[in-house]
Amino acid sequence: MLRIVGGDSHSGRASRRTLLQAAGAGLFGLTLPKLYAVEQGGKSGIVPPARAKSVIFMMLFGGPSQLETFDLKPNSPTKIRGPFGPTPCKTPGLLISDQLPRLAKISDKFCVIKTMTHTYNDHSTAGHYMQTGHPWHVAIGQGFNATPRDWPSIGSIVEYLGQHGGIPTDGRLPSYVVTPNFLGRLEEYTIQLRRPGEYAGWLGRGYDPLTTMINKRDAKDNPYFRECTDEELNFQIQGLTLPPEMTLDRLDRRRSLLAQFDDQLRQGGVSSAITALDKFQTRAWSLATSEQTRKALDIKAEPKDLRDKYGRNLFGQSTLMARRLVEAGVKYVTVHYEAVDGYSWDSHVHSDDVKKHLLPGLDNALASLLEDLNQRGLLDETLVVCLGEMGRTPAASDRWGRGHW
């Protein structure tokens, strides 16, 4: 299931919906040389330059059922059509779940792409493919974690271009951020997973995303299913949070001392490694001391009523954070809806959580994001992609769940 969302078109030559479908479907097939060719073509006047300046990539990990969300089959047998009915949409002919009423009212602001498909029904393998556009080198069932041999994510390519002058950036913010956690951090397994797909892989760790960190209260807690406090929603970037006793002067002295050690190592014949390390240290220093970064990550700066509209759960507030980051200048933001309880969107069994938490949380967060971007004049230049790594089987089980598809 893939939904690509954008702003209204002001051109009478082609509908906004047609352009979004063409642009979105093509994104996953573009190689870096093709991207450069498109960019150069826009500068030369051969093709019009793209309007999108930022991407918000919303990953509903686990594999949401298309038959309970955006591809309903109300005339099919009971085992296929599922427990929810369709609701009238602003877009004629579009049928979406009656559990998504806010999105139904603004269906002219997004389009549903039903032709996106692949052959992988494993979470890690499919997740890698959907975020990179390439198959994962690890055989299905043989691994769950990212490796240095993985293909770089689209976000990491954006980060690479940002660091090398391929896209405009002021350097005070990263080009690529993942929020609220790296995928796998909150999953309930004996070891902490780091799911593949969102990293730079063979492109190099210097192009990995800057990732925020939000903790659970305990092992059984699911912050996606409850309201979160402001104390929990600190959205600090991993490894860049200064302790209260660490002043900027003190940090500067430490940096100076580290530079002296680096100089000594260079004299010992490891200059190339130190030069590469300097690059990462400089970037980390800039981010840790940037007032722009701290302001962008302060969710409390948003009005109370707007935060309520997004939903006070972790997904709603993370989606609002994505809008803040894009508004501040970040080019690519990934928002994860993680399988904290071990399944969430991976609905092998249709539990009450689908109706009580998953669908209402998606409806509030995504609808609020589109409305918010539109009101701020950012929707035309922000590509919003909302998807799962796979779909669900057409026929339901006896327990009203669906398998991987």
**Bridging pattern class, strands 96-97 and 86-87:** antiparallel
In angstroms, rounded to a whole number, what is the distance separating the alpha carbons of residues 232 and 58?
A: 21
Q: Where are the beta strands (DSSP E) in 214-290?
A: 236-237
Residue that has been written with the tokens 């909302």 in this structure: 386
CB 121 within 8 A of CB 390: yes
pLDDT tens readout for residues 248-304: 566 566 556 656 555 555 565 555 544 555 566 666 666 656 788 889 999 999 999
pTM for this model (two decimals):
0.82
CB 137 within 8 A of CB 150: yes
Q: How wide is the angle at C-alpha 174 spanned by C-alphas 173 and 178, nearest 5°?
A: 120
CB 306 within 8 A of CB 372: yes
Residue 20 parent element (H or E) = helix 16-27
Which stretches in the chain have pLDDT values below 70?
1-47, 188-190, 238-289
| Separate counts of helices (H) and strands (E) for the chain | 13, 10
The confidence score (pLDDT) of residue 16 equals 44
- Preceding peptide of 180 cis, ω within 30°: yes
In angstroms, rounded to a whole number, what is the distance separating the alpha carbons of residues 74 and 212?
A: 41
Helices (H), 109-247: 123-132, 154-163
Residue that has been written with the tokens 């909150």 in this structure: 186
In angstroms, rounded to a whole number, what is the distance separating the alpha carbons of residues 36 and 41?
A: 8
Provide the CATH topology of domain 2-235+297-387.
Alkaline Phosphatase, subunit A (3.40.720)
Ramachandran quadrant class, 4 (left: phi over 0; alpha: psi -120 to 50; beta: rest): beta
User: Three-class SS of residue 224?
Assistant: coil
Residue 333 pairs with which residues in a beta bridge? 56, 177
**Bridging pattern class, strands 236-237 and 332-337:** unpaired
For the beta carbon of residue 381, count every other beta carbon within 10 angstroms.
Answer: 15
The confidence score (pLDDT) of residue 50 equals 76
In angstroms, rounded to a whole number, what is the distance separating the alpha carbons of residues 259 and 247?
A: 19
3-state percent breakdown (helix, strand, coil) of the chain, nearest 5: 40, 10, 50
314-328 vs 359-375: helix crossing angle, rounded to 10: 20
In angstroms, rounded to a whole number, what is the distance separating the alpha carbons of residues 99 and 8?
A: 25
CA nearest neighbour of 61 among 285, 347, 368: 347
